[in-house]
Amino acid sequence: MTAHVERRPGAARRKSVFRRAWESRYMYLLILPGILFFLIFRYIPIYGIQLAFKTFRASLGITLSPWCGLENFEYLFLNSDFWVAVRNTLLISLYQVVFCFPFPVVLALFLNEIRLARYKKFVQTVYTFPHFLSWVLISGIVMNLLSSSGAVNSLIAALGGQKHQFLTDKALFRSILVFFLAWKESGWNCILYLASITAIDPSLYEAATIDGANRWHRMRYITWPGISMIVVVTLILRIGSMMDVGFDQVINLYNASVYDVGDIIDTYIYRITFQRAGNFGVSTAVGLFKGVTNCILLLSANGICKLLGEEGIV
Amino acid sequence: MTRIRSHARRPRSGPIQRTTFFDILNILFTALFALIILYPFYNCILLSVTPQHIYAREPFMLYPKVLTWESYYVVFENRVLFTGMGVTAMITALGVVYNMILTLLLAYAFNKKFPLRSFFLYMILFTLYFSGGLIPFYLLIKDLGLMDNILSMVLPTGVSITYMTVMRKYFAAIPEELEESARLDGASELVILFRIILPICMPMVVTFCLYYGVERWNEWWYGMLFIKNAFKQPLQLVLRGIIQAAGSTNTSSHLLEAGIIPFNDGIKMASIVITMFPILCVYPFLQKYFVQGLAIGAVKG
């Protein structure tokens, strides 16, 4: 068996590359559609990034439009709306890491301790459900709940409080984003942790029980250390993707009165391009700014995960 | 040996464990969160079957006092939502087939050894880190002539790299011998994939069909960017139009006289319920596949 395995690489080396390529011709056939997809829909747009340094003329197309140097970036960096969008992106991201990230971990630890199997299955089904609905739909529900005539306000009024315009309140908008993100995605995100809890060796629990550990001790000294690595890796990757804060959620929930606090880079690009007579060069420049920052952050996050001996992004 | 083990295991699952304060606290906490998730949906369904004048008086309800299907009649008569549903059904059907073919083939092939394999793999992974951004993408779709074509909501979302990676891990866990023996029997690569590998991967295939299916069902963004023709807009985009439209709780009379029915809250909620309905129907029954999540490959690999 061992001899068989060891002989293989040697045998492969003797054949020429072309011979091996011909022998695996079916493999190229299998990856062809996927590769074509990536070339067309992912790589051609990367070619189009040159627009960031050009003045776009629709009649000339991307390739023939005249170069303009760093003009687009100069315009951008002097534009206060752009910096507002950058600040909002980073702040919302920070809030998400602080408030949305730990909740699924706690949820998984608690769910794991439930011994009523049917109840556990039921609540998990409930928790995961909102993940499969679009933000368009959820935003409809949220806007109704929080509207001046909605359930939340009438509850406040019934309890003797003052009605409040939640969705146009600058002080509350980010909190609303964070709350409903946790509401929608926590159940889904805790699946990963629950799965890694099931991978913990049961004999550890047995040994601890014999030594007199109670449920809390077992959660604290076995379950938590058992998943802490995956929590750390997920956290690093989450921080690495801090430029993505959920375009779908923001664009469906925000409105003109909270642009100051809710406009993120993605919505900013959409607004300046499609809601006004857009300058495609400037918009591409914003995209490139985001792309490069994102790339550096992700690569660093991935590198840190690899240093920790974990898999990283994929 | 067996005796010792069974003795040691008893405290975890046997009758010795009593219900503690912690258990009660735990049930309360998890039930509270479940309620927080369920209430908005319950409220939404409730509003869709409540007459508007009653809702205006009493927005916070726990149970329906008067039932009406009025909001649903309006939505059914208006038909825009159903045009959207037709478009979305088409996108979902085409999209899932397209997504699954591309992703499965890539995932399967990348587990094999062939020249330039890592080149192609890194070429794909690179797109995780860097993308051209919205504008070049928009111009590409325009240049491809896909504006106002429903294929603009199908073709650009081909492969999810995350799903592909999970599939790869799943394929990698299949014992090598299975393929070897088929190969010895003279089966070609394609026969091996479709007749031997895929049938034993059905749980994984179903799971990813569902995930891709839900994503396509929720499509609205490319519709908003690329589709101007009202009859080609996907369901979620139509719904977005209804939700974002300024509505009023009290149906104002001059709008009614003009023949314009404002989208009051009841109509909005009814539209949401109709949009949610297919997922609501499928989800509880296929819950096992849905909730497997990406853990399907995480634990195995």
* pLDDT tens track for A76-107: 999 999 999 999 999 999 999 999 999 999 99
pLDDT at residue B299, as a whole number: 47
The answer to whether residue B185 sits within a structural domain is yes
Neighbouring CB atoms inside 10 A of A219's CB total: 17
More confident residue, B51 or B138: B138
Whether residues B131 and B168 share a domain: the answer is yes
Task: Name which of B20, B30, B138, B267 to mutate to probe chain A: the one with the most chain A Cβ atoms within 10 A of its Cβ.
Answer: B30
Q: Same domain, yes or no, for B168 and B208?
A: yes
**Is the same domain home to B128 and B219?**
yes
d(CA A190, CA B227): 36
Amino acid, single-letter form, for residue A113: E
And the tokens for A152? 């939340």
Task: Say how far apart CA B12 and CA A258 lie, in whole Å.
Answer: 52
Note whether A209 contacts B12, CB cutoff 8 Å. Answer: yes
Where is average pLDDT lowest: A8-22, A115-129, B188-202?
Answer: A8-22
Here the tokens at position A184 are 């929608």
| ipTM of this predicted structure | 0.88
Within a domain: B300:
no
Q: What is the pLDDT of residue A8?
A: 53
Give the closest of B120, B133, B275 to A291, CB-based: B133
More confident site: B239 or B80: B239
In contact, A68 and A297? CB cutoff 8 Å? no
Q: Which of A221, A232, A231 is nearest to A196 (CA)?
A: A231
Report the alpha-carbon distance of residue A259 to residue A245 in Å, rounded.
Answer: 15
Instruction: Mark yes or no for CB contact A48/B135 under 8 Å.
Output: yes
Q: Provide, for chain A, the percentages of residues in helix, strand and coil under a 3-state DSSP scheme, each rounded to the nearest 5.
A: 80, 0, 20
Residues 6+ apart with CB under 8 A from B297: B165, B166, B167, B168, B169, B170
Task: State the CATH architecture for A71-307.
Answer: Orthogonal Bundle (1.10)
Is B290 a member of any domain? no
Q: State the total domains in chain B.
A: 2
Span A191-218, mean pLDDT? 88
Q: What's the mean pLDDT in A18-25?
A: 87
**CA–CA separation, B240 vs B271, rounded Å?**
10
Q: Is the model's pLDDT at B49 over the cut of 60?
A: yes
**Residues B13, A257: Cα–Cα separation, whole Å:** 56
Which of B228, B262, B277 is at the close of a domain?
Answer: B228
Mean pLDDT over the full length of chain B: 84
The A residues from 66 to 105 touching B (CB cutoff 8 Å) are: none
Residue B2 — very low, low, confident or very high, per pLDDT cuts 50/70/90? very low
CA dist list (Å): B52 to A73, B40, B41: 52, 18, 18
Of B188, B284, B299, the CB nearest to A199: B299
Predicted local confidence at residue B14, as pLDDT: 45
pLDDT digits (tens, 9 = 90+) for B137-156: 999 999 999 999 999 999 99
Mean pLDDT of A200-220: 88
Contact yes or no for B44/B280 (Cβ under 8 A): no
CB under 8 Å to B141, separation ≥6 — which residues?
B147, B152, B156, B225, B226
Where do the H-state alpha helices sit in B61-174? 70-78, 80-109, 117-129, 134-143, 161-172
Examine residue B296 and state whether it is found in any structural domain, yes or no. Answer: no
Amino acid at B158: G
Look at B295 and A192 and tell me if their CB atoms are within 8 Å: yes
pLDDT band of B1, cuts 50, 70, 90? very low
- Residue A205 vs residues A192, A197, A208, B6, B219: alpha-carbon distances, Å: 20, 12, 5, 14, 45
Q: What is the pLDDT of chain A when averaged over all its residues?
A: 89
Contacting residues of B for A314, CB less than 8 Å apart: 125, 128, 161-162, 165
For A120, B10, B153, the CA distances from B272, given in Å and listed in that order, are: 28, 49, 21
Q: Kindly report, residue by residue over B166-204, the tens digit of the pLDDT.
A: 999 889 888 888 888 888 888 887 888 888 899 989 989
- At residue B65, what are phi and psi to the nearest 5 degrees? -95, -40
Retrieve residue B181's tokens.
């023996």
Position B51 scores a pLDDT of 85
Task: Examine residue B295 and state whether it is found in any structural domain, yes or no.
Answer: no
**Distance of residue A88 Cα from the nearest chain B Cα, in angstroms:** 19
Does any domain span residue B294?
A: no
**pLDDT for the residue B256:** 44
Which region among A58-72, A253-267, B57-71 has the lowest average model confidence (pLDDT)?
Answer: B57-71
pLDDT value at A201 more than 60: yes
Do B280 and B217 belong together in one domain?
A: no
What is the pLDDT, as a whole number, of residue A163?
A: 87
Q: Is B181 helix (H, G, I), strand (E, B) or coil?
A: helix
Considering the domain boundaries, does residue B154 fall inside one?
Answer: yes
pLDDT value of residue A61: 87
Query: pLDDT band at residue A313, thresholds of 50, 70 and 90?
Result: low
SS3 category, A67: strand
Show the domain range for B99: 88-228
CATH number at residue B144: 1.10.3720.10
Rounded Cα distance between B160 and A41, Å, is: 13
Over the stretch B273-298, which tens digit does the pLDDT of each residue have?
999 999 999 898 888 888 776 666 55
Provide the greatest CA pair distance for chain B: 85
Let me know if residue B291 belongs to a domain: no
Q: How confident is the model at residue A265 (pLDDT cuts 50, 70, 90)?
A: very high
Quick check: A132 and B120 CB within 8 A?
no
Q: Is there a contact between B239 and A136 if contact means CB atoms under 8 Å apart?
A: yes
Is the domain of B93 the same as that of B223? yes
pLDDT higher than threshold 70 for residue B3: no
| Higher-confidence position of B78 and B254 | B78
Yes or no: say if A204 and A220 are a contact pair by the CB < 8 Å rule. Answer: no
Per-residue pLDDT, B293: 65
- A105-130: average pLDDT: 92
For B232-268, write each residue's pLDDT tens digit: 999 999 999 988 886 544 444 444 444 445 568 888 9
Q: Is the pLDDT reported for residue A310 higher than 70?
A: yes
Q: Sort out which chain B residues have CB atoms less than 8 A from A253's CB and list them.
A: none
| Same domain? B128 vs B168 | yes
Which of B192, B191, B208 is closest to B97 using CA atoms?
B208
Between the CA of residue B132 and those of A71, A194, A242, B213, what are the distances in Å? 19, 36, 18, 26
Tokens 């895929």 found at: B198
Domain spans of chain A, in order of start: 2-53, 71-307
Map A145-173 to HEC letters.
HHCCCCHHHHHHHHCCCCCCCHHHCHHHH
Nearest to B133 among A37, A116, A288 (CB): A288
